[in-house]
A and B are shown apart, each in its own frame.
Chain A
Amino acid sequence: MSTAASAAPPTRERWERDVLEPALARSPERQVSFTTVSGREVRRLYGPDDVADLDYGRELGHPGQFPYTRGIHETGYRGRLWTMRQFAGFGAPEETNARYKALLAAGGTGLSVAFDLPTLMGRDPDHELSLGEVGKCGVNVASLADMERLFDGIALGDITTSMTINSPASMIFAMYLVVAERQGADWTRLSGTIQNDILKEFIAQKEYIYPPRESMRLITDVFAFCAREVPRWNTISVSGYHIREAGATALQELAFTLRDGIEYVQYGVDAGLEVDAFVPRLSFFFNAHNDFFEEIAKYRAARRLWAEVMRDRFGARDERSLKLRFHTQTAGVSLTAQQPYNNVVRTAIQALAGVLGGTQSLHTNSLDEALALPTAEAVTIALRTQQVLAHESGVANVVDPLGGSYYVEALTRDMREGARQHFDTIDGMGGMVAAIERGYPQREIAESAYRFQQAVERREKIIVGVNDFVAGDTTAIPTLYIDERVAEQQVARLEALRRARDGDRARRALDGLRAVAAGTGNTMDALLECVRAYATIGEMCDALRDVWGEYEEEPFI
């Protein structure tokens, strides 16, 4: 054994002076500074000094123990793997139904419904604003009849379903409940999620209908209804995904999303609900972007922050209120139209970050999604990517395998502190609804998006196949194409439905909904009657537009 190997290592200062500096003099680094995809500068090296004061019990905790930095399950994925849940929806309900059956047959373990823009915006397919949009970005569901087609032959009591729907979340949820009822499934045993997160719509994705405060009432009505009738349903998926896609940094995604979560809990409490009666059914949804370690730190910090805030700010006592559960989707915005096969690699790296961050469920994007909705073949590769991670890579065998990494722990801590500062700023504005009304998060995100684009433009950030390594791109891949026949069919069906239903019952139900909206009752009960009467999504949303009006954002650049 050489003496050099057996001697105690020199101090960091001595190493830097005697070893590092000469090395830098011989071969300088590639860049003056190195930053994450979010523009955060990272140091050359992280070591024991960076986490010397790390308090394991207070800051990390064992898996399944407060503050859950290392995960909410004692055994990580050794007990149960994450749910492989591929978001899907296009065209008419029966086409999407066939895709679901194929995904379940290929080993998918949950369903996730993508609706088209008319449905998401509460418009019937024959409305003038639905022109060209029917069935394009998701499946068109205009009434209970479409919901029955969507889940035909799929037993809702046996699967979990996630539905990405926000402004008309209660209307779509009511349709789902009535389908389940008709299948003979017990509501108390139904399990799944509605996104139902309107704050991130105002902040980022902009699929809002009603003003913020009225929108918040729909959500607290769902909290109260589910606590009473559908206790295993996740009433909201507080989403950072869209905030990130709109251009936010990892830290902004974390901070705005958790602050949204705080806002929902506050509104629930203000509506008279007990914290521990509804908070356990709140879930989260994060993005998985390209910067591997930054993403993992984000998920770990999220769990810690939520546990601390629920305990200290709201006095939650039920463990389930403290445990942040989340879904992850890989970053659609990172996919490139150029050299599309490279997207398989990006998605795999992002998915791995989600898994190492301890996600409860995962959607992996398909390689063709910068071009169109994915083909069945592309979706299968995306699902197989998750299966390779789960069954071949070994990463699911150990709980929080990056815990204790100098870098990951330092980043996790930075993320938490940064998010706390954002919380203070937003609290100072009077909360998230007030911050949204003055355009604060919207402007912060637009600023980050522009800065990132400028960095790409200056080639400070390299995107393979886009601003470097571009030669030889002649790849043409097959893509899914949705034509206007879907719209014609959905419009014809809607006209037939309006003729066939009991028109008086539908009218009375919609009047009942208006009355509840103008008063104080729970909108869910009124919506269930509308759905049973085959009122359409446009009619239900219009009834509330009549009472509450519509929201319009002040455009800004």
Chain B
Amino acid sequence: MRKIRVVIAKPGLDGHDRGAKVIARALRDAGMEVIYTGLRQTPDQIVAAALQEDADVIGLSILSGAHNSICPRVLELLREKGLDDVLVVVGGIIPEVDVPALKAAGVAEVFPPGTPMQQIVEFIGGRARARLEAV
């Protein structure tokens, strides 16, 4: 079976990329193929990257409060491109009150500040492997 492929993206105007980079390295060290998009990606650019890279997973890092506008847009575009089965996870500063709506929109999991890297690696590893086996 090929390696799990993860696109890590920083949407919006924010440049705080410490979390995105730390997670990208942790996933790579766990044996996954990680593509980091760099900063200030629009939802269109993120979905295009996922398509081009044949990604199993998109990890969005959002700290600025723009998640309610950005995440549903990414999921909508994924559906338009027939990529509904790509796992979308979000990390960053996401108020708890927003989590149910994000999950209803199709976000698989939200990782708040202080989440152990291992927990994220295991979640993504488990869910993405299931997807790869199904393909």
Contact = CB atoms under 8 A, between A and B. Distances in A.
B21 A450 contact: yes
B85 to A, nearest CB: 25
Contacts of A130: 13
A137 B65 contact: yes
The majority secondary structure among interface residues of chain B is loop
Contacts of B97: 481
Contact of A129 (B17, B38, B40): B40
Interface in B1-51: 12-18, 21-22, 24-26, 28, 34, 36-40, 42
A166 B45 CA distance: 26
Interface string A466-502: 1100000000100101101000000000000000000
B95 A206 contact: no
Chain B interface size, as a band, is 35 or more
B21 A336 contact: no
B112 interface: yes
Interface in B79-125: 93, 95-97, 112-114, 116-118
A457 B114 CA distance: 10
A101 B58 CA distance: 44
Contacts of A371: 93, 95
A556 B17 CA distance: 11
B22 A450 contact: yes
B121 to A, nearest CB: 10
Contact of A132 (B18, B22, B34, B68): B68
A481 B68 CA distance: 12
Contacts of A246: 16-18
Nearest to B28: A557
B66 interface: yes
A128 B93 CA distance: 22
Interface string B48-88: 00000000000000001111111000000000000000000
B118 A557 contact: no
B92 to A, nearest CB: 11
Contacts of B18: 245-247, 333, 446, 449
B114 A338 contact: yes
Contacts of A337: 112-114
Contacts of A419: none
Nearest to B37: A555
Given A117-B64, A337-B113, A372 B95 contact: yes
B55 to A, nearest CB: 15
Interface of B: 12-18, 21-22, 24-26, 28, 34, 36-40, 42, 64-70, 93, 95-97, 112-114, 116-118
29 contacts: A121-B13, A129-B13, A131-B66, A132-B12, A132-B66, A133-B65, A133-B66, A137-B14, A205-B15, A206-B16, A206-B17, A207-B15, A245-B16, A247-B22, A336-B113, A446-B18, A450-B26, A453-B22, A457-B117, A463-B114, A466-B114, A467-B116, A481-B95, A482-B65, A484-B68, A555-B37, A556-B36, A557-B34, A557-B36
